[in-house]
Amino acid sequence: MQSRRYPPGPDGGPFGLGNVLRFRRDLYGFLDELVADHGDVVYFQIGSNFIYLVNHPDFVRQVLVDQWEHFKKPAFFKESSRGHWGDGLSNLEGDAWRARHRLLQPLFQRRHIARYARVVVECAQDMIANWQPGTVVDIMEAILTLVVRVAVRFTFDAELEGYGPASRRQERAGTIPLDEALGVDFRVTEYDGRTSPAVVMRRRAGRDMGAASQLIRQRWLTPTDRGDILSTLVTSGQRGDLTRQQLTDEIWQLMFASHHTMTITLVWLWHLLAQEPAVEREIHCELDRVLGDEAPDRSHLPGLEYGEMVIKETMRFCMPSLYLFRETARDIHLGQYTIEQGGLVMICPYLLHRDPRSFVEPERFKPERFSKSGSGINKMAYIPFGAGPRGCIAQAFAMMLAKLVLATIARLHRLVDAPGQAEKPRFFPPMYPGQPFLMKVEARDG
Ligand code: HEM
């Protein structure tokens, strides 16, 4: 019998422990080395997992678009999110996924989300209401609070006192299972200043979500159509399409899918603008031209073209989703290799977004590469929202939110690194409140 030919990769020793250590010590160095040393398909062991790292836009297209139905979300991914917030859209497969996607998709269409433009601007205005030149703000905390508030309004059409801090603990707890499952995190984790094992942390965080759970219960028992996500799901429940547990799981997953990605994107946006005065000036010119003296609203969105380019370049640079995983549902041919059924495939936006074959001077922050007259970026080399049918359902919502927050703040203020804030915002290990990222408010010139 002919033996299977595996792609090249590093020898991590027993249980891939060498790779685990490299991964934990210097994730980006490790990833860079994998592709520099072994090419566009790399095979390596990390903990108990054997991974195929795929790093060419043609192969990415094959996995996420052309053959997407033959790739499932891996068991470890599902188990970690199931234990945490249940089975939402991102955990479903086949017909169950199709039905849920059909149900949710209309809520994320431009027409629907435009209704939330006013809410986004209102929340952003509240955030900056007390900002004065010289004020030092923890931008991480401020943006996360804003994002959570917008997500709560979008989902529940309500303000939920006490939900913010609880959701943050839940969010922080949420990263633990994935890291554990990958075999890169066995630690005992800090929680509320005390040290407690991750499992205790998760349980406690879950209990904190009382305010939102209560609201779901009330609306399930006495349905009212408020045009929010909860109303749509409750209506679906009344028709018998969704149990209350499924509804609750979906709500949690939508909430948490937005908190981390949006916050990381917006914090990096402000950090990068502070380093790039020419880009910041261009933003200010566009805002003056498009807004005049008005506060931003949905009618201004199409005019904020440069702002959109800056946000896209921020997501190229900072990659709010570090890696995407899939498990093959059957044997798959990828170039000269066959990945057996059950094989674990990893796609890493960090590597694709910094690949000089796809981006000229990838280490430079250059929003112009996303201009309409730009040279045309390979869609599979730039995947902050994933790609294909399983790509981010909320891409248009996320872009609307980011553009309006940028416009609301930058119309009035500049943000510069606060004295003593030497570190960059980190995205691995991810930064969370409790690790403040301080910026100083300055008045805009002229
Ligand atoms: C900058 C903001 C965001 C980024 C960068 C982002 C990124 C992503 C990525 C990369 C995926 C695909 C994951 C994969 O293929 O394995 C995804 C899926 C998903 N995202 Fe987002 N996301 C963002 C905001 C949001 C928001 C605001 C929501 C909800 C309100 C959301 C809800 C979802 C859901 C439900 C899925 C699963 C889709 C499916 O499996 O069919 N995302 N997102």
Task: Give the mean model confidence (pLDDT) for residues 113-119.
Answer: 87
pLDDT of residue 194: 36
Neighbour tally for 199: CB within 10 Å: 14
Question: How do residues 129-143 score in pLDDT, each as one tens digit?
Answer: 999 999 999 898 888
Protein residue closest via CA to atom 9 of ligand 1: 385
Task: Supply φ then ψ for residue 397, to 5 degrees.
Answer: -65, -45
Cα 90 to ligand 1 centre (Å): 8
Q: What is the DSSP letter of 3?
A: P
Q: What does the pLDDT read at residue 179?
A: 42
Q: How far is the CA of 234 from the centre of ligand 1 (A)?
A: 22
Separation between Cα atoms, residue 70 and residue 333, nearest integer Å = 11
Average pLDDT over residues 308-315: 96
Pocket around ligand 1: residues whose beta carbon is below 6 Å from it? Answer: 89-90, 101, 254, 257-258, 261-262, 265, 320-321, 324, 384-386, 390-394, 397-398
Nearest partner of 86 among 164, 174, 208, 154, judged by Cα: 174
Residue nearest to atom 40 of ligand 1 (CA): 90
Residue 312: predicted pLDDT: 97
The per-residue pLDDT for 185 is: 38
pLDDT one-digit tens code per residue, 331-345: 999 999 999 999 999
Q: Which domains does the chain have, with CATH numbers?
A: 48-443 (1.10.630.10)
Integer Cα distance of 261 and 254 in angstroms: 12
Q: For atom 25 of ligand 1, which residue has the closest CA?
A: 258
For the CA of 253, the nearest atom of ligand 1 = 35
CB 229 within 8 A of CB 254: yes
Split at pLDDT 50, 70, 90, the class of 2 is low
Token pair belonging to 153 = 């309004």
Predicted pLDDT at 178: 40
Atom 24 (ligand 1) nearest CA: 258
pLDDT at 370: 95
Q: State how far the Cα of 184 lies from the Cα of 171, in Å rounded to an integer.
A: 18
The span from the CA of 44 to the CA of 49, in Å, is 8
Three state DSSP letters for 329-350: CCCEEECCEEECCCCEEEECHH
**Mean pLDDT of all residues belonging to the chain:** 84
| Alpha carbon of 188 to ligand 1 centroid (Å) | 28
Q: Is the pLDDT of residue 39 over 50?
A: yes
pLDDT for residue 200 is more than 50: no
CA of 86 to the centre of ligand 1 (A): 16
Q: Helix, strand or coil for residue 91?
A: helix
Between the alpha carbon of residue 56 and those of residues 9, 32, 346, 364, 421, the distances in Å are: 16, 14, 12, 21, 37
| CA pair distance 409, 229, nearest whole angstrom | 27
- The model's pLDDT over 139-166, given as tens digits with 9 standing for 90+, comes to 988 888 888 888 888 888 766 665 555 5
**Residue 167, CA atoms < 13 Å, CB-side half-sphere:** 27
Question: For atom 28 of ligand 1, which residue has the closest CA?
Answer: 258
Given this model, what pLDDT does residue 303 score? 97
pLDDT of residue 168 exceeding 80: no
Closest to 42 measured CA to CA, from 52, 50, 32: 52
**Token digits of residue 164:** 């913010």
CA 394 – ligand 1 centroid, Å:
6
Surface-to-core class of residue 38, CB atoms within 10 Å of its CB (0-12 exposed, 13-18 middle, 19+ buried): middle
Q: What pLDDT shows up at residue 182?
A: 40
Long-range CB contacts (within 8 A, 24+) of 93-98: none
Residue whose Cα lies nearest atom 3 of ligand 1: it is 261
* pLDDT band, residue 208 (cuts 50/70/90): very low
Per-residue pLDDT tens digits for 211-262: 677 778 888 888 888 888 888 899 999 898 899 888 888 887 887 777 778 8
Q: What is the DSSP string of 21-44?
A: HHHHH-HHHHHHHHHHHH-SEEEE
Query: If you take atom 36 of ligand 1, which residue's CA is the nearest one?
Result: 392
Give the H/E segment covering residue 327: strand 324-328
233 in helix, strand or coil? Answer: helix
Helices assigned H by DSSP within 86-228: 94-104, 110-113, 117-128, 139-156, 163-182, 198-207, 210-221
Q: Would the pLDDT of 425 be above 70?
A: no
* d(CA 383, ligand 1 centre) in Å: 11
Q: Given this model, what pLDDT does residue 342 score?
A: 95
pLDDT at 210: 62
Q: Which of 321, 392, 399, 400 to mutate to test the pocket of ligand 1 (most atoms within 8 A of CB)?
A: 392
Q: How far is the CA of 22 from the centre of ligand 1 (A)?
A: 28
Output the pLDDT for position 204: 45
